Amino acid sequence: MPREPIARRPTMADVAAAAGVSTALVSIVMRDVPGASAATRERVLAAAAELGYRPDSRARLLRSSNSRLLGVVFHVQQDFHGSLLTGLYAAAAAVDHQITLSAVTPGRDERAAVNDLLQDRCEAVILLGPESPRAFLAEIGARTPVVALTRNVRHRLVDVVRTADDQGLHQAVDHLVQLGHRRIVHVEGGRSAGAAERRRGYTEAMRRHGLDAEARIVPGGADEDDGAAAARLLLAGGLPTAVTVFNDRCATGLLEVLRTSGVDVPGDVSVVGFDDSRLARLSFVDLTTVAQDVPLLSRLTVERAIARAQGETVVGREQVIPPRLVVRQTSGPVRVG
Amino acid sequence: MPREPIARRPTMADVAAAAGVSTALVSIVMRDVPGASAATRERVLAAAAELGYRPDSRARLLRSSNSRLLGVVFHVQQDFHGSLLTGLYAAAAAVDHQITLSAVTPGRDERAAVNDLLQDRCEAVILLGPESPRAFLAEIGARTPVVALTRNVRHRLVDVVRTADDQGLHQAVDHLVQLGHRRIVHVEGGRSAGAAERRRGYTEAMRRHGLDAEARIVPGGADEDDGAAAARLLLAGGLPTAVTVFNDRCATGLLEVLRTSGVDVPGDVSVVGFDDSRLARLSFVDLTTVAQDVPLLSRLTVERAIARAQGETVVGREQVIPPRLVVRQTSGPVRVG
DNA sequence: TTGAAAGCGCTAACAA
DNA sequence: TTGTTAGCGCTTTCAA
């Protein structure tokens, strides 16, 4: 006798009925935990497949105390966040956790994005390069564990996982000095995540090499147009022999304007970026850059979020990961003049 | 007498107790629906604020028949998806719906992204430029309403909202012909969403202008490196006077290689992109391009998703929106030779 | 305008 | 190994 077709989405009860067992057993089988015989397991799985059953994550999350759900806030306009999301999905999957996303867009600020997430009862919230005032982040931190990824937030209620931005600039400057450069400029990132640390790293490195007098910081920003503007500034005011740039996007814009103006890179000017994003690896960009360790940053972020969610005592609110210089085609020896 | 502090997250019952009303009333107030007096409303709101109460979206969704939740699958690596997300959030908010996101990353395919979404009991699933085989999309369509945005899927169970890609290329070619160009090449997008339609549009337009003999399609792709490769191909094989490119990213790479090789754009070669993405608007790119109407595409997508979810009969499975040519600095009159 | 009570689909404690 | 039962936090009748 053929079974009645089910019009609504099948529930656990439907599967239980079809397999001739209780819902508790179905639950056990679907979660893949011990407690059911192989035969039952098979029967339940078959029934579930036949009905096209999928567990309802809402009901599941509502019932179970630990949701195994991590909320992530990212910015749609920042392509490096795409890399971080890739890393976070992988890291979460590795420890059997889910990720739920909330985007910041030009029409939807961080506050709105976070508020949406908080209603989802994630165990913790991960913020990519948060731009909100510290007070707001602390407010969230008081409610639920918060990890800021790639931005330093000085507040005891906010965990931080970030790259040692200052070290990144040390590496960049060291590399350029080694190539014989002395007139090295830094195109800075304004108020973006990591910008202050990179500025400081640049200044420190220049001083360490006895190049205080040569140090020069030029206004830039986080995107290509900011880099383009910086390039125009440099072209107007006299070119250095090397430039360290806040990030790859900014470096790309700068490169483009320099090249279009007939400047040879790295012949006339060497350029070093930051992030090692997709952009840096493009064949026609091939940018020497400071690489952030995305897999490690992601793993530590997920681990910390979960540790906090489980109320573990944690040592070191801030985790700072060393970057690594990737030398490509935009940096070379200073031209002998 | 001070109230006991609540250790766990406050629930509706806590708010009800604090305000001295029933949970039913709290529910009414929190949803902002009629059925409570102004005084009660105020009292409940005050209690909720004091406790820092937030409704639990899972419980809410579990209980209510209509979730007002739309699932969206996007690709982290495609920056145009960022624009679409921006539009979709706005369109959903306008009709009081929520959006839940699921990302496709290099390590997480569309199938995985969709599966996660299906467990969330969204009312409908919106797929940005889906790359999965039609059979899989149909399979989802059999379960839940599906709208494919910016890609044509020929299946009765899948709704489509997309740009008239062919018209876009008509506009591009018309524009170039008007500027006196005859040797117009198309750098195509391979298997990307819209690529086939754009190829066809190019061929049609060339034929309409009696330029069959000049028509030439060069392999390209969706990203900057594909454009760079196409540029190298053109440089090696003899430059046309104008190029229509699959999308802005590809056009950007092409532009960069042309310019670096000393080609003047638009003096020697005119270039037209597609999408009118952020890239096209960068000061140093300033790309003539075919703009997709993101706000309209987004609105129609959300409307259609909701209409299907509510079981409305719908006319026109496929909605095709005309694009609009945006003339900027990369296209100009053919050089008199 | 209010409250009591039933249950959304699931998990988890317990009993059998 | 299996089934029974009691909720998770909310919405939604229905009656008061």
Rounded CA gap, B184 and B182, in Å?
6
Nearest 5°: CA angle at B233, between B232 and B234?
A: 90
What is residue A148's predicted lDDT score, i.e. its pLDDT?
98
Question: How do beta strands A288-291 and A324-326 pair?
Answer: antiparallel
Of residues B44 and A9, more confidently modeled: B44
Backbone dihedral angles phi then psi of residue A123, each to the nearest 5 degrees: -75, -25
First to last CA, chain B: 93
Locate tokens 């077709």: which residue? A5
CB < 8 Å to A55, chain B = 119
What is residue A8's predicted lDDT score, i.e. its pLDDT?
75
Nearest 5°: CA angle at A148, between A142 and A149?
A: 165
Locate tokens 């270039």: which residue? B271
Encoded tokens for A53: 């059953």
Instruction: Give the residue-averaged pLDDT of B63-72.
Output: 89
pTM of the model: 0.94
Instruction: Determine whether A41 is exposed, middle or buried from the number of CB atoms within 10 Å of its CB (0-12, 13-18, 19+).
Output: middle
For every residue of B206-269, DSSP letters joined together read HHHTT-GGG-EEE---SSHHHHHHHHHHHHHH---SEEEESSHHHHHHHHHHHHHTT--TTTT-
> pLDDT tens for residues B24-65?
999 999 999 998 999 999 999 999 999 999 999 989 999 987
Contact assessment for residue A245 and residue A261, using Cβ atoms and an 8 Å cutoff: no
Coil, helix or strand at residue B64: coil
> pLDDT tens for residues B251-269?
999 999 999 899 999 999 9
Band (B2; pLDDT cuts 50, 70, 90):
very low
> pLDDT tens for residues B180-197?
999 999 999 999 999 999
Q: Which of A31, A74, A86, A250 best probes binding to B when mutated, by most B CB atoms within 10 angstroms?
A: A86
Q: How many C-beta atoms lie closer than 10 Å to residue A239's C-beta?
A: 17
Rounded CA gap, A144 and A91, in Å?
20
What is residue B337's predicted lDDT score, i.e. its pLDDT?
60
What is residue B7's predicted lDDT score, i.e. its pLDDT?
59
Backbone dihedral angles phi then psi of residue A103, each to the nearest 5 degrees: -95, 145
* Confidence check: pLDDT of B311 > 50: yes
> pLDDT tens for residues A278-310?
999 999 999 999 999 999 999 999 999 999 998
* Confidence check: pLDDT of A331 > 90: yes
Rounded CA gap, A134 and B109, in Å?
36
> pLDDT tens for residues A26-57?
999 999 999 899 999 999 999 999 999 999 99
Question: How do beta strands B216-218 and A324-326 pair?
Answer: unpaired
Q: What H or E segment, with its residue span, contains residue A198?
A: helix A195-208
What is residue A7's predicted lDDT score, i.e. its pLDDT?
59
CA dist B290 to B101, B273, B332, Å?
Answer: 28, 6, 15
* Confidence check: pLDDT of A2 > 60: no
What is residue B303's predicted lDDT score, i.e. its pLDDT?
97
Cβ–Cβ of A284/B253 closer than 8 Å?
Answer: yes
Contact assessment for residue B248 and residue B287, using Cβ atoms and an 8 Å cutoff: yes
Closest residue in chain B to residue A72, using alpha carbons only: B101
User: Which residues 6+ apart lie within 8 Å of B249 measured at CB?
Assistant: B79, B222, B223, B224, B227, B277, B279
Nearest 5°: CA angle at A66, between A65 and A72?
A: 135
Band (A242; pLDDT cuts 50, 70, 90):
very high
CB < 8 Å to A256, chain B = 256, 284
Rounded CA gap, B165 and A277, in Å?
30
Encoded tokens for A110: 């961080």
Cβ-defined contacts of A230-237 (< 8 Å, 24+): A230/A187, A230/A254, A231/A255, A231/A256, A231/A257, A231/A258, A231/A261, A232/A257, A234/A185, A234/A258, A235/A261, A235/A263
Cα Rg for chain A, rounded, in angstroms? Answer: 26
Cα Rg for chain B, rounded, in angstroms? Answer: 26
CB < 7 A contacts with chain D (nucleic strand): A 20-25, 28, 34-37, 39-40, 59, 62-63; B 8-9, 11-13, 23-24, 26-28, 30-31, 53-56, 59-60, 62-65
DSSP state letter for A284 = T
Q: How many C-beta atoms lie closer than 10 Å to residue A120's C-beta?
A: 22
> pLDDT tens for residues B189-227?
999 999 999 999 999 999 999 999 999 999 999 999 999
Q: Which A residues between 35 and 74 have a beta carbon under 7 A from any strand C atom?
A: 53-56, 59-60, 62-65
> pLDDT tens for residues A13-32?
999 999 999 999 999 999 99
- In angstroms, what separates the C-alpha of B215 from chain A's closest C-alpha? 27
Backbone dihedral angles phi then psi of residue A166, each to the nearest 5 degrees: -65, -45
Rounded CA gap, A4 and B125, in Å?
27
Rounded CA gap, B167 and A137, in Å?
47
* Confidence check: pLDDT of A243 > 80: yes
Band (A336; pLDDT cuts 50, 70, 90):
confident
CB < 8 Å to B284, chain A = 224-225, 228, 253, 256-257, 260
Percent of chain A whose pLDDT exceeds 70: 98
Encoded tokens for B258: 């042309």
Q: Which residues of B106-139 are buried (b: 16+ CB within 10 A; e: fewer)?
A: eebebebbbebbbbbbbbbbbbbbbebeeeebbb
- Edge-to-edge strands, sheet with B184-187: B216-218, B184-187, B242-245, B270-275, B288-291, B324-326
What is residue A151's predicted lDDT score, i.e. its pLDDT?
96
